[in-house]
Structure 1
Amino acid sequence: MQKIWICGAKGQIGQAINEIIDKLEFKVLDTDIDDLDITDTDEVLRFGEMNRPDIIINCAGLTNIEECENDISKAYKVNALGARNLSIIARKLEAKLVHISTDDVFDGKSDQPYNEFDQTRPQTAYGKSKLAGEQYVKEFTYKHFIIRSTWVYGLGNNFINDLLEKVNKGESLAIASDQFGSPTSAKELARFILHLIDTNEYGTYHATNKGVCSRYEFAHEILKLTGKEAQMKAVPTHLSDFSKVRPAYCVLDNFIMSMTPVYTFPSWKESLKEYFKERGLYNEK
C-alpha cells in the first residue's frame, strides 16, 4: 500500500483529497501547521524519514493576500522555504511531489488565458513567494507535479463562504466586475491530483474548471444556485468588498492537460452546482 503525505490537510484542497481518496489503496499521513512546521527543515526531514511516504502533496501555504503583503518574510518562509524543505525530503526518498501553486505567478495584465509556457511576472508578495516555491521544487526534485489553479473553493475560507456570510447578515454587496477568472472546485482539483499521481507525467500544469467569468458574475451564480437574494452592485476592484490585491485577469489555459489523457475538467457552473448540492445548499428557483 502506497503512503501519501498530505501537508496542509486542513485546507480546502487537503480536505477535498481526504474526502475522495481510497483509504484501501493509500495509507494517508495528514499534517497541518499544528502537527508539523514545514519551514523547519529538520522537522520535515525527521517526519519524512520516519514515515517514508511514496507521494507528498503540498497543499500548505500562506494564501491570505493581505497577510503576505504585510509580512513578506513570512510569505517567503512558508511558500518558498516550506516548498524547498518538502522538495529535499522528496528527492531523498525518491518520492513524487505534488506542489500546489497559483495564477498569481502572472501579472494579470493579459487579455488571453495564460498557458504553462507564458512568462511569469508576479506583482504581489503572495505571487512572488509562490513562484520562488515553484523554483525550489524544480531545483531539488525532478519527480514533481506543479499545479497552478485559480479561484479555488471548497471547505474552509473562500469567496463563496465570505459572500454567503454577508448575505445571511442582510448586508448589501459590492463585487468587482473587472476581475476575471475560472472558479475551480477543490474537489475537482483533488480528482485531478489523484489521477496525476498515478502517472509519470511530471511537470507544470494549469488546472481549472472550464469557462471564464467576472467576480460579479461568479457572485450572481452563487446567489442563483442557493436561492439567496441580496442587493448587489458591480464595482471596480478598488471599491469591492473583497480582496483588492489580486491580478485583474486570472484566467489559466489548461494547455498541457489538453495534450495528455490524464483528466478533463467540467465547466465551472457544473462544478459549482455539484458543490452546493453536496453541501445541501442548492435551492435554484
Structure 2
Amino acid sequence: MNVDLNIIVFGSTGLMGTAFETVCRKRSISYVGMSHQDIEITSMEMVNNVIERYNPDTIINCVAVPSIDPCEKDPELPLALHCTAVLHLAKECAKRDILFVQPSTHAVFDGLKEEPYTEDDQVKATNIYSATKLLSERFVATYCKKYYIPRFPTLYGLRQNNSMGFVDKVITWIREGRDMKIADDKMDSPTYSIDAAEVVISLIVNNEPYGLYHVANNGCVSYYDFVIRIKELMNADNNIYRAKDSDFSSEIYKPLRTALQSVKLKPIRSYEDALLDYVNTDVIGVSD
C-alpha cells in the first residue's frame, strides 16, 4: 500500500530508527533517515535546514541516550538530547504544523507496581535518565497539537549501528558459550523493535487520536525467564543462574518492574511469538 507521507527520522541507525526504516520501506512510505553523522540534533540551525530541505509532514525523533548509567555520569548529555533538542523540535513542529513523534520509555515509572503500567498510571522519575525523558514528554504535549508519544519497554532487534542492548549482549554471550547470572526479580515486557515500529506507523497512517500510547508486545516476564527462552530457542546449553537485581552493584536507582500494557490500543502479539520470530529470522539467519 502506497501511503502519501513524508517522514524524517532522526537517529536513523539506532534500534528504532532501523525499525522505522524497515517498516516505511515495506509500506512504500517516503522516508529520510538522518544519523548523528548527518546532523547534530542539538544544533537548531542544522535541524531547521533539514526541515526546510525535506519539508516533512512527520518527524520521528529516535535520538536518545540509550541507557541509565551514562546519564548519571554526564548529566549534560541527556539534558541536551532529551530536553533542549526535543523542546526545539516540538516548537518547530508546532510552528510548521508537522506531526511530531517522540518515543519515551517505561523508565518514567518507579517500578513499584505489581501489574504492568498503563497510560493512566502516575509517572515518577527516579534518576536523571527518566527525569529528562519525562521532561521531553511534557515539552511535546505542551507545545504540539499533533503528536504521538509512544512509551517503549526494553527493546530488541536489528540495528544499523554497532551498539548493543541487553538482548543483543545475551545472544552474543550465548553464542560464546558463556554462563550467566540473570535477575529473576526484574520484570519487563520485552518488545521486538519491528512490532513497535509497526504500531507507531499504524497510528500515523490511520490518523489515530494524538497523545500518549504504551507500545509493547503482550505479556510480562522476568529477565531470567526471558533469557532462558532465548537459550532454548537457540538450542544452547549455557548455564543460566538465578540472581537478584541487587546482586549487580549500582548506586543508581533502577526500577524493578516496568512492564507496559495499553488501555488505548488493541494488544499486539505476545512477547513469546515476537521473540520466536526474531530468533528464527534474524538471529539464527544471521549466524548461518
Scaled by the length of structure 1, the TM-score of the pair is 0.91
Structure 2 counterpart of 1:124: 127
- Deviation, 1:240, is 4.2
CA distance in 1, matches of 2:28, 2:158: 24
- Shift of the 92–63 alpha-carbon distance from structure 1 to 2, 3 Å rule, reads same
Whether contact under 8 Å (1:105, 1:122) holds in the other structure is: yes
Structure 2 counterpart of 1:51: 54
1:93-242 equivalences in 2 (<5 Å): 93-156=96-159, 157-198=164-205, 199-240=207-248
- Shift of the 38–280 alpha-carbon distance from structure 1 to 2, 3 Å rule, reads closer
Matched, 1:277 2:277: no
Structure 2 counterpart of 1:261: none
- Residue type of the alignment partner of 1:178: D
Question: Which is worse superposed, 241-250 or 1-10?
Answer: 241-250
CA distance in 2, matches of 1:24, 1:117: 31
1:13-32 equivalences in 2 (<5 Å): 13-22=16-25, 25-32=28-35
Matched, 1:66 2:73: no
Secondary structure of 2:148 counterpart: strand
- Shift of the 254–56 alpha-carbon distance from structure 1 to 2, 3 Å rule, reads same
- Residue type of the alignment partner of 1:153: Y
- Residue type of the alignment partner of 1:43: M
CA distance in 1, matches of 2:64, 2:58: 18
- Shift of the 165–91 alpha-carbon distance from structure 1 to 2, 3 Å rule, reads same
Whether contact under 8 Å (1:63, 1:126) holds in the other structure is: no
- Residue type of the alignment partner of 1:252: L
- Residue type of the alignment partner of 1:135: R
Whether contact under 8 Å (1:38, 1:85) holds in the other structure is: no
CA distance in 2, matches of 1:256, 1:24: 24
Secondary structure of 2:101 counterpart: strand
- Deviation, 1:116, is 1.0
Count of residues paired in the alignment: 277
- Shift of the 241–195 alpha-carbon distance from structure 1 to 2, 3 Å rule, reads farther
Whether contact under 8 Å (1:62, 1:75) holds in the other structure is: yes
Unaligned 5+ segments in structure 2 are none
Output one character per residue of 1:170-223: Cα deviation in whole Å (capped at 9) or x when no partner: 322010111001010100011101100021410000110011100001100110
- Shift of the 274–84 alpha-carbon distance from structure 1 to 2, 3 Å rule, reads same
- Residue type of the alignment partner of 2:110: D
Scaled by the length of structure 2, the TM-score of the pair is 0.91
Provide the aligned C-alpha RMSD in A. Answer: 2.0
- Deviation, 1:140, is 1.6
CA distance in 2, matches of 1:32, 1:87: 19
Whether contact under 8 Å (2:184, 2:242) holds in the other structure is: yes
Secondary structure of 2:284 counterpart: coil
The structure 1 segments of at least 4 consecutive aligned residues displaced by more than 6 Å after TM superposition are 241-244
State the percentage of identical aligned residues. 26
Matched, 1:42 2:45: yes
Matched, 1:246 2:254: yes
- Shift of the 77–280 alpha-carbon distance from structure 1 to 2, 3 Å rule, reads closer
Whether contact under 8 Å (2:94, 2:143) holds in the other structure is: yes
Output one character per residue of 1:132-189: Cα deviation in whole Å (capped at 9) or x when no partner: 1111111221100000010110124222210122223332201011100101010001
CA distance in 1, matches of 2:252, 2:168: 17
Matched, 1:83 2:86: yes
Unaligned 5+ segments in structure 1 are 259-263
- Deviation, 1:112, is 2.2
Secondary structure of 1:257 counterpart: coil
CA distance in 2, matches of 1:59, 1:169: 31
